[in-house]
């Protein structure tokens, strides 16, 4: 059976001057995070954006998948730090998520740098969020042992 997660947004006003708040319904891990158009295209000023939430999802998904892939290879990680940098820009005059750059630094005993990068590259292409956005969003990876 499929796992289903829900979030909701309450939005007030038009795109340029309006504002909203996003909440995680399933987990209740966050409620009423503020969001505005300006927080997407200009300065965050303490507000989030769909692109920041996508970056959080991609970094989290990759870290979990990479941890699992490293363990399957017999070298579970001691620690991973993953960042996703999602770019939002105009393409053919339309706002578009254009890329997600994953950066991972890790401490893994019994694995050299080449092995770390090889498994990271396989994970980049295989984690569920990557599979959801591949073909629409350029995904890059910078992976290195600490």
What pLDDT, in 10s, does the model give residues 71-101? 999 999 999 999 999 999 999 999 999 999 9
Neighbours of 60 (CB within 10 A): 14
The structure tokens listed for 76 are 């579970």
pTM of the model: 0.95
CA–CA separation, 36 and 124 (whole Å): 30
Using pLDDT thresholds of 50, 70 and 90, give the confidence band for residue 110. Answer: very high
Domains, the chain = 7-41 (no CATH), 50-145 (3.30.300.20)
């Amino acid at each position: 059976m499929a796992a289903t997660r829900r979030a909701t947004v309450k939005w007030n006003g038009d795109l340029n001057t309006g504002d909203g708040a996003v909440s995680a319904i399933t987990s209740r891990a966050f409620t009423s995070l503020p969001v505005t158009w300006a927080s997407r295209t200009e300065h965050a000023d303490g507000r989030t954006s769909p692109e920041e939430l996508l970056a959080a999802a991609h970094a989290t998904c990759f870290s979990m998948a990479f941890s699992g892939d490293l363990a399957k290879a017999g070298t579970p990680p001691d620690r991973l730090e993953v960042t996703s940098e999602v770019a939002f820009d105009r393409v053919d005059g339309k706002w578009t998520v254009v890329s997600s750059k994953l950066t991972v630094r890790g401490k893994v005993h019994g694995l050299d740098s080449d092995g770390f990068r090889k498994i990271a590259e396989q994970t980049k292409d295989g984690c569920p969020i990557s599979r959801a956005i591949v073909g629409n969003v350029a995904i890059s990876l910078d992976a290195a042992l600490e």
